[in-house]
Amino acid sequence: MPESEMNPKHSKIPIQIRSVAGATCLAFLAGCATTPQTARGPQYPPAANTLREARSSQVPIERRAADYLQVAAICAPLLGNGTQETPARNTYNTAAAEITILLRSADGGQLWNHPLTLTNGGETYHLRLQPASYGVWAPDYFTAFKLPSEVERKQPKVLNIQNGVGGALVGVRTVNPREDLAPFKGITAPVTATLDFRGTDATLALRRPARQPTANVQGKVRTLAADYTAALAYYRPPSNFLAKKLMATFRPGRYVEKMGLYFLQPYDPHRIPVVFVHGLASSPFMWAQTINELDADPQVREHYQFGVFAYPTGYPPLYSALRLREALAKVDKLYPNHRGYVLVGHSLGGILAHMQVVTVTPAMWERTVGQPAREVLDRTAHDSLIYRSLIFQADPRIKRVVFICTPHRGSDTALTGLGRFGRSLIALPVAMTSIFRESLTDVDLTQFTGSARRLPNSVSGLSPKNPTLKIVNSAGISAPYHSIIGDRGKGDTPNSTDGVVPYWSSHLDGAQSEVIVPGPHGSQNLPQTIAELHRILRLHLKNSGELRTTIAETGY
């Protein structure tokens, strides 16, 4: 049925008028299409027309920038304390965010970070960018800016947002070649854009709300707007996430180039690095919710920075622990004055963390494995992969460790048919198997793994019979440590299990605290787990002297 018959009223509108109206709408939409828009809250009516023109791609760039400045100038005297949502504050925030994106992206950024004289017909403004300081980003640090609404938020689901003054943005830095410790997608941080006016002289500042949640804006100290979740959500998992996790377990050699330590925000010498280490058949994305909720605490956000260690989980634990040790040493080399680390490890990641805070010697291997261990070590060069994996020192830069559902003494699951099947599916890269075959005889392999035909991998490394676990557990831990252990809500500790790791394996004598949470093996995102991590991080600030040092150095 023709549309005119379905809607008689519509059919009475002349087709020429409908065509003109449609073309007008399309032209209007095209004029706005290139500018991402902040849509939160009502806008301030006296500035509405100027804001509409500023968003139109049909208007020259410099005129649009002048329009944004005029919008902000109209609204700036009406900001109040900044925490109360008003149309004037919303419009000011919109103008500050969108002029930042416009100037950074338009014409390849040619107008960015240069003094500009901008006229919109009514006023002429002189704009400059505020240089870097403790609470302000360097203007040229980020290569792009995104509105939080442009970031897909599959995880984390809890929003960590600060209501206040300024345009909340996600700053993104991507450079080629990729910088050390930066994720492959680039590194992000929350940014708050503010505009200050003295007459027609305007200053655009890219503020660091994680360092300073308040700032002097337009002559008054105000709370800054910020979206901390958006900066974290930028690192979203790939569409084939599950397949990649499994492939990184069963074919670890395919993912070795992405093995390493990544900071989720630009390195900050004033903050304590917390490094999260995921477990078997998992990835750093498992920590998104945990990090987001910890970052919601202003004191944690102010004094800590978060990083993740990514590794293909099919490799033997000793090898993965070596790579973590090397990654931490790389940070030491790049930033020799960094704060001491806090490590947080889940499951197999807890074992890797454990191996960073113990010293293992040749004598310990000989006592546990016997004479074959001494013979292997005597004939192995000290700079070889085998020797560096087997013999290592506790890292004095690690100041605290948290173990979550960690099988310190192994898991019987590794001995079951399912465990044996999983072990058989793991194919180590040829380069690694060649090293094992060249360095270890059949007798050696039998002593180390229980079979001359079995090369070590992550599943065999979790066997309660594995000598590595016995040796690591016989060594003293060099830093304060805490245990978070799941019991599936049954309340049957010490006879409990999280479904994979029994209490007898996850318990460690000497822990500064041990908390039983009512969850399964994947308890890292439980509210009780996050609350305990929160408590531990605050305790670390209080006990380690890091908080007092930060206050002394920075004056806040």
The reply to whether 400 falls in a domain is yes
The reply to whether 137 falls in a domain is yes
Q: What does the alpha-carbon distance between residue 264 and residue 266 come to, in Å, rounded to a whole number? A: 7
Cβ density class 140-164: b for 16+ within 10 Å, e for less: eebebbbbbeebeeebbeeebbbeb
Cβ density class 419-438: b for 16+ within 10 Å, e for less: beebbeebebbeebeebbee
Is residue 275 a contact partner of residue 267, using CB atoms and an 8 Å limit? no
CATH number at residue 286: 3.40.50.1820
- Bridge partners of 555, per DSSP, are none
Q: Are residues 282 and 353 both part of a single domain?
A: yes
Cβ density class 521-538: b for 16+ within 10 Å, e for less: bbbbbbeebbebbbebbe
In sign, the C-alpha dihedral spanning 397, 403, 409, 412 is negative
DSSP strand pairing (201-207 vs 226-227) = unpaired
Q: Are residues 272 and 169 both part of a single domain?
A: no
Please give the helix or strand (H or E) that residue 103 lies within, else none.
helix 87-105
**Of 423, 416, 421, 406, nearest to 502 (Cα)?**
406
Q: Using a CB cutoff of 8 Å and minimum separation of 24, what contacts does 73-78 make?
A: 73/123, 73/125, 73/195, 73/197, 73/200, 73/202, 74/44, 74/46, 74/47, 74/50, 75/44, 75/47, 76/195, 76/196, 76/197, 76/218, 77/218, 78/44
Q: What does the alpha-carbon distance between residue 428 and residue 314 come to, in Å, rounded to a whole number? A: 7
Q: Are residues 171 and 215 both part of a single domain?
A: yes
Please give the helix or strand (H or E) that residue 307 lies within, else none.
strand 304-310
Percent helix, strand and coil across the chain, each to the nearest 5: 45, 20, 40
Please give the helix or strand (H or E) that residue 485 lies within, else none.
strand 481-486
Q: What does the alpha-carbon distance between residue 400 and residue 357 come to, in Å, rounded to a whole number? A: 9
Q: What does the alpha-carbon distance between residue 426 and residue 250 come to, in Å, rounded to a whole number? A: 4
**φ, ψ dihedrals at 410, nearest 5°:** 95, 180
Q: Are residues 295 and 156 both part of a single domain?
A: no
The reply to whether 444 falls in a domain is no
Q: And the tokens for 58? A: 């049909």
Is residue 343 a contact partner of residue 355, using CB atoms and an 8 Å limit? no
**Of 337, 347, 207, nearest to 267 (Cα)?**
337
Q: Are residues 68 and 213 both part of a single domain?
A: yes
Residue that finishes a domain, picked among 198, 233, 268 = 233
**Of 455, 280, 285, nearest to 352 (Cα)?**
280
Domain span at 74: 36-233
Q: Are residues 299 and 215 both part of a single domain?
A: no
What's the confidence (pLDDT) of residue 413?
82
What's the confidence (pLDDT) of residue 420?
66
What's the confidence (pLDDT) of residue 237?
85
Q: Are residues 313 and 226 both part of a single domain?
A: no
Q: What does the alpha-carbon distance between residue 501 and residue 310 come to, in Å, rounded to a whole number? A: 22
Q: What does the alpha-carbon distance between residue 426 and residue 424 come to, in Å, rounded to a whole number? A: 6
Q: Are residues 273 and 199 both part of a single domain?
A: no
Q: Are residues 271 and 224 both part of a single domain?
A: no
DSSP strand pairing (116-119 vs 124-129) = antiparallel
Q: Are residues 138 and 225 both part of a single domain?
A: yes
In tens digits, the chain (556 residues) has pLDDT values of 333 333 433 333 333 333 333 333 333 333 333 455 554 567 899 999 999 999 999 999 999 999 999 999 999 999 988 889 999 999 999 999 999 999 999 999 999 999 999 998 778 999 999 999 999 999 999 999 999 999 988 778 789 999 999 999 999 999 999 999 999 999 999 999 999 999 999 999 999 999 999 999 999 999 999 999 999 999 988 777 677 667 767 777 788 889 999 999 999 999 999 999 999 988 999 999 999 999 999 999 999 999 999 999 899 999 999 999 999 999 999 999 999 999 999 999 999 999 999 999 999 999 999 888 998 999 999 999 999 999 999 999 999 999 999 999 999 887 677 666 665 666 676 677 777 777 777 777 777 665 656 678 788 889 999 999 999 999 999 999 999 999 999 999 999 999 999 999 999 999 999 999 999 999 999 999 999 999 999 999 999 775 544 433 433 2
Cα of first residue to Cα of last residue in the chain, in angstroms, is 72
What's the confidence (pLDDT) of residue 449?
65
- Bridge partners of 306, per DSSP, are 274
The reply to whether 26 falls in a domain is no
Is residue 471 a contact partner of residue 368, using CB atoms and an 8 Å limit? yes
Distance set, CA 381 to CA 389, 412, 439, 456, 469 (Å): 12, 34, 10, 20, 23
The reply to whether 207 falls in a domain is yes
Tokens 């929350």 correspond to what residue?
190
What's the confidence (pLDDT) of residue 455?
74
The reply to whether 467 falls in a domain is no
Domain count, the chain: 2
Is residue 222 a contact partner of residue 139, using CB atoms and an 8 Å limit? no
The reply to whether 238 falls in a domain is no
Q: Are residues 46 and 147 both part of a single domain?
A: yes
The reply to whether 442 falls in a domain is no
Q: Are residues 225 and 327 both part of a single domain?
A: no
Is residue 281 a contact partner of residue 246, using CB atoms and an 8 Å limit? yes
Q: What does the alpha-carbon distance between residue 170 and residue 234 come to, in Å, rounded to a whole number? A: 8
